[in-house]
Amino acid sequence: QRHRVVRTGRILRVRLGIMGATADDDFDVIACYMPTRGAQRRGGQESSEASRQYTLAVWRSLATTTLPLAGQGRALVMGDLNAEMRAVVEAKANPRPTKSDRCLELMMEQLSLVRTGTGRPTHHKGGEIDHILVPDAESGKVRQARIMPGFSGHDHALVYVDYRYAIDREGMGEPRAVGKALHMITDEAKWDEYREQSTIKRKAAIAEVEATGGTHIDALRAIQQAEEEAIAPIYDEARAQLRKLRE
């Protein structure tokens, strides 16, 4: 499926193919129009709470859609996010971060996304609320965003980036294995548990290779497998906890 409406009127996911590449090289553009900043401040208590819950739900949809794609370096998140970076907000004379500002910061941190903007306003009121975000692993392929007059000169500016993608299929070996997003593990006790399990499994793996007369390459592969086995349950637990927080 080449496109999917994630949330009507808010989030659209489009899968793009690259000419000359295989399906493994496809990447996704996630186009967004997130809830407005003003709606998060206006209204009475009941309407404000309903607005807050709706805003959180939309950001949750964006994060859960982007999560599996960003881990593979295959997603560009772009559009009117109606949220500003913390540094931009704090530089104002009267900084008032919104819930969307905090959601943007959390999503970028958890999914290892980086900004392409430079802090220049993209809206006629002076805020940088239109963004193009890329996975950290892909940031070297993207230049800083440029700002141009938009289709509506009295509203939003046009934000665009150059994305460079080179393919060399000759003489290539197997694709590089992509590891787990270990930044999700924030509990120091879990890291201690990982180190303990890693030491035990690595020693056992090396002993088995030596007993069977394996090569240095065999030993390196065995160590890699041991590391993956040591981190897997801890990573799965951290990811499950993150899902609960988003729910």
d(CA 239, CA 243): 6
> For the residues 138-150, what does the mean pLDDT come to?
83
pLDDT at residue 148, as a whole number = 82
**Strands annotated E in 89-190:** 113-115, 130-135, 146-148, 158-160
Closest CA to 187 of 229, 242, 243, 109: 242
> For the residues 131-139, what does the mean pLDDT come to?
89
Q: Provide the residue type at 223 as one letter.
A: I
Q: How many CB atoms lie within 10 A of CB 69?
A: 19
Q: Is the pLDDT reported for residue 236 higher than 80?
A: yes
* Band of residue 42 on the pLDDT scale cut at 50, 70, 90: very low
**Of the given ranges (49-58, 107-116, 134-143, 167-176), which has the lowest mean pLDDT?**
167-176
DSSP 93: S
Identify the residue whose tokens are 């805020």. Answer: 127
d(CA 129, CA 191): 36
pLDDT at residue 45, as a whole number = 45
Q: Provide the residue type at 19 as one letter.
A: M
Establish how many alpha carbons lie within 13 A of residue 232's alpha carbon, considering only the half-sphere containing its beta carbon: 8
Q: If you average pLDDT over every residue of the chain, what do you get?
A: 82
Q: Is the pLDDT reported for residue 71 higher than 50?
A: yes
Q: Is the pLDDT reported for residue 205 higher than 70?
A: yes
Whether the CB-CB separation of 234 and 183 falls below 8 Å is answered with no
d(CA 86, CA 147): 20
d(CA 120, CA 128): 6
d(CA 10, CA 54): 11
Burial class (CB in 10 A: 0-12, 13-18, 19+), 53: exposed
Whether the CB-CB separation of 130 and 124 falls below 8 Å is answered with no
> For the residues 215-242, what does the mean pLDDT come to?
85
Q: Is the pLDDT reported for residue 131 higher than 90?
A: yes
Instruction: Characterise 112 by phi-psi region: left (phi > 0), alpha (psi -120 to 50), beta (else).
Output: left
Q: What are phi and psi of 113, to 5 degrees?
A: -100, 150
Q: Collapse the DSSP code of 12 into the 3-class scheme (helix H, G, I; strand E, B; otherwise coil) and give the result.
A: strand
pLDDT at residue 52, as a whole number = 87
pLDDT at residue 78, as a whole number = 94
* Cross-strand partners of 32: 11, 79
Q: Is the pLDDT reported for residue 174 higher than 90?
A: no
